[in-house]
Structure 1
Amino acid sequence: MILVLGGTSDSLAICDELNKDVNKSYILSVTTEYGKDLASIYSKNIILGKLTKDDMVAFIKENNIETIIDATHPYAVEVSKNAIECSKITNIDYIRYERKSLIEDITYKNIFVVDDIDEACEIANEKGNTIFIGTGSKNLNQYIEKVPNKKLIARVLPTSEVLISCEKLGLNGDNIIAMKGPFSQCLNEETYKQYKIDLVITKESGVAGGFLEKVLACEKLNIPVVIIRREKINYPSVIHDIKQITLVL
């Protein structure tokens, strides 16, 4: 049995590949109801909820898991670290699907590549007034705290849970764009123009996350971009092509 750690469109594409092979039985783990709804099209064997390290070890043993496929978000580093450790504890295989980094492919010069949100906020305070937060809803509280006296525009998933969390942070309809991506370069350009954005903060999310489309839109409008790079993890085994997944199992 395979345990697929999901939460991205990549994980659904991996499930699609596994579905083509009748010998590849798997369980898909997701953390949100929204993720479960999306995943239900691809898999009938889904577990919902966050797995702690102890939870994961117990689950592996109870379900005779032989391989973990880690297709979590590139920035969900704690989950990946736990999964690696759990694979060692239980002596099973671990495979990481990692989106290819696109930073080296960018030719636009008006970019600032940083290691964390603190550095991103320092640049935002210095260079921005109306700042587009393209990193999702998870860490919005940090931007609100560390970038005061600026107008923040956050693009987030259009779910009630996310919108309520935004409102609790003091954001309202003037600060929230509730849409599901990925987004085209054209749509990003129109969004930046509509909201008079003068600085964009994004993560190095890869092709599936619409990363280049955000940067290209900024280049077209000459808007500076702050890119939060991924934390480097020493994965035991990594693939960058979803089509390879059944070949390495």
Structure 2
Amino acid sequence: MRVVIFSGTTEGRALSAETAAMGAETVVCVATEYGKTIQEHVAGTHTLSGRMNTDEMVKVLKEADLCIDATHPYAKEASRNIRAAAEAANVPFYRLLRRESELPADCILVDSAQDAARFLEHTEGNILLTTGAKELSVFSAVKPQRLYPRVLPVQESLAACEAIKIPRGNVIAMQGPFSSELNAALIRQFSIQWLVTKDGGAAGGFDEKAQAAQKTGVRLVVIRRPKESGESYEMIVKRCREMMECK
């Protein structure tokens, strides 16, 4: 059985290890070289890197028996393209859903990074951005001296920070996972008053951010997770095993 997993998440890597252990030919597609570096540590899998359009995805899915979308919960465009490619290639498709977090009652909930930026324009105090480098540009209207983005230590992320003139001393270039203690230490170190995050669930370290915010008294701004349909990690593993047994 040939399984193609569009990944880039903790669950995607874990799932690829499961399918490889079952004996399935496992191809994992990731968007970045950084993602490829991490994925290549998973034995028995073959990794493809680079952002693909729908037609390119269809080519990868040729002769596949199963397509699994294990991309990030906020990767809406990628998920749409993967679903469309699976339909075009006539390959069975599953979307792996990450469990949502229980949001603190006092958090500020917004619908997008743009909404978070508009809200923060009218506030005061330093801001810890933990939403990644991809959407940094939407915060360009906020004074750059207030922004403390935590991004991966790769050139693409640093270039995104430079593009909106964030002072170099404000850039926190680190690879997770981050404990609540480390989050709290960064908040204190940089006199943070606002922490912006997505609901990345347990795998995305949401609980550790929320705990740190509560511990230090900063306000938590949460970008609402897009609504979508799919199945749990456990259910998809079960379905993969059932397919292997039928082969």
Query: TM > 0.5 between the two?
Result: yes
Quick one: distance in 2 between partners of 1:109 and 1:123? Answer: 18
2:112 equivalent in structure 1: 116
Q: Assess if the C-alpha contact under 8 Å between 2:134 and 2:160 holds in 1.
A: no
For 1:89-128, what per-residue CA distance to the aligned partner results, in whole angstroms no more than 9, with x for missing partners? 22221111111111xx23x333111111222112212334
1:66 equivalent in structure 2: 65
Quick one: distance in 1 between partners of 2:124 and 2:67? Answer: 42
For 1:149-171, what per-residue CA distance to the aligned partner results, in whole angstroms no more than 9, with x for missing partners? 65100000012332233223322
Q: Assess if the C-alpha contact under 8 Å between 2:144 and 2:164 holds in 1.
A: no
Q: Does residue 16 of the first structure (1) align with residue 51 of the second (2)? A: no
1:99 equivalent in structure 2: 98
- The aligned runs of 1:1-249 (5 Å cut-off) are 1-22=2-23, 24-43=24-43, 44-61=45-62, 64-102=63-101, 105-106=102-103, 108-144=104-140, 146-148=141-143, 151-233=146-228, 235=229, 238-240=230-232, 242-249=233-240
Aligned length: 238
Quick one: distance in 2 between partners of 1:150 and 1:2? Answer: 46
Which ranges in structure 1 are unaligned for 5 or more consecutive residues? none
Quick one: distance in 2 between partners of 1:212 and 1:32? Answer: 26
TM-score normalised by L of structure 1: 0.90
Q: Cα RMSD (Å) of the superposition?
A: 1.6
Partner amino acid, structure 2, of 1:97: L
For 1:135-162, what per-residue CA distance to the aligned partner results, in whole angstroms no more than 9, with x for missing partners? 0111111112x32365100000012332
Quick one: distance in 1 between partners of 2:79 and 2:28? Answer: 15
Partner amino acid, structure 2, of 1:5: F
Q: Percent sequence identity over matched residues?
A: 32
Which ranges in structure 2 are unaligned for 5 or more consecutive residues? 241-247
